[in-house]
Amino acid sequence: MSKSSTPQMELAGSLWVQKAGQKVFAEERIALLEKIHELGSITHAAKAVGISYKTAWDVVNLMNNLADRPLVERNAGGKGGGGTALTEAGLEVVRQFHVFAEEHRRFLQNISQRIEGGGDLYAFLRRMSMKVSARNVLAGKITTLTRGSVNALVVLAMKGGASISSTITNASVDALELGVGRDAFAIIKASSVILGTDLHAMKLSARNVLCGQVAKVIDGQVNAEVDVDLGGGNTISAVITHDSVLKLGLEPGAHACAMFEASSVILGV
């Protein structure tokens, strides 16, 4: 997927006006007032905005009670058996709320443009917007990209100096438009992470060995989830057996190393 086709993240927010700690006006309530003005019937207005007749009147009564002047009035009698209409105060509230809403939209747009310039907050918000099933999502910057005939080895430098290696296909490199200097995410399932102790001097086939301190252990009768603090604000989680936790003596503060294959690392942008 090209960069141009990637949906842009935008700031969004809700606007409401409150009095005495109670929400008086909000977008959905203004919509109800507008429909009452348009249709002249609270029954039809309630149906148009998707709420019950009783709920509509409860909302109207609340707004009337909290507003300085009544916003909605009943018109009894007449050829059609009466109806419901906005007062001058109600019409003014609708008009003023749209002024507030437009200024609120401009405010969010302005903030979004200022953040989108490449600030750390915008990058953080984009990372938080990702939804993946894998337990571990670690951010970094690509420092090495070596292509082979079919696969490529990509090295990602994280905060704190640790690196993660990933083996992916050349087609994936092209599809993600990966290159040295680009920000990316390493995604690793907790079940793919093996934990050990004192692995620094051992010769292992696994490309990734990251060491740190055990931050948390959630133990169960069969399996346990262990979080290892790697430093630099990075934490990696592993799911191992209960017996392995006891055998390795894993507890908060203990030294531990997380080990996983480069082929177990999925890259995302």
264 occurs within a structural domain: yes
Determine, yes or no, domain membership for 8: no
Can you give the pLDDT at residue 185?
A: 86
Q: Is 120 part of a structural domain of the chain?
A: no
Q: Which residue do the tokens 């707004």 mark?
A: 63
Number of domains within the chain: 2
For residue 45, what pLDDT is reported? Answer: 93
Q: What is the pLDDT of residue 20?
A: 63
Q: In this structure, what CATH number is given to the domain that contains residue 47?
A: 1.10.10.10
Q: Do 109 and 133 reside in the same domain of the chain?
A: no
- pTM of full prediction above 0.85: no
In a shared domain, residues 106 and 172 = no
Task: Name the stretches of the chain with pLDDT < 70.
Answer: 1-12, 19-24, 76-82, 111-134, 200-203, 205
Q: pLDDT at position 160, please?
A: 81
pLDDT of residue 80: 40
The reported pLDDT for the residue numbered 143 is 94
Is residue 74 located within the same domain as residue 138? Answer: no
The CA distance from 28 to 88, in Å, is: 20
Asked whether residue 9 is domain-assigned, the answer is no
Asked if 258 and 193 sit in the same domain, the reply is yes
Let me know: does 104 contact 123? Beta carbons within 8 Å.
no
CB under 8 Å, gap of 24 or more: what pairs does 197-204 form? Answer: 197/248, 197/249, 197/254, 197/255, 197/256, 197/257, 198/255, 198/257, 199/257, 199/259, 200/257, 204/259
Domain range for 153: 127-268
49 within some domain: yes
pLDDT tens digits along 85-120: 999 999 998 998 888 888 878 777 776 666 555 556
> Of 85, 115, 145, which residue constitutes the final position of a domain?
115
Q: Identify whether residues 247 and 176 lie together within a single domain.
A: yes
Q: What's the pLDDT score for residue 98?
A: 87
245 lies in some domain: yes
Mean pLDDT, the chain, whole residue set? 81
According to the model, what pLDDT value does residue 75 have?
73
Q: Is residue 4 part of a domain?
A: no
What pLDDT shows up at residue 102?
Answer: 84
In a domain, 11, yes or no: no
| Structure confidence at residue 83 (pLDDT) | 82
Pair 142, 260 in one domain: yes
Contact 191, 258 (CB under 8 A): no
Q: State the CATH number of the domain containing residue 224.
A: 2.40.50.100
Q: Write the single-letter amino acid at 267.
A: L
pLDDT at 104: 79
Identify whether residues 191 and 216 lie together within a single domain: yes
Q: What is the pLDDT of residues 67-85, one digit of tens each?
A: 778 889 887 554 444 588 9
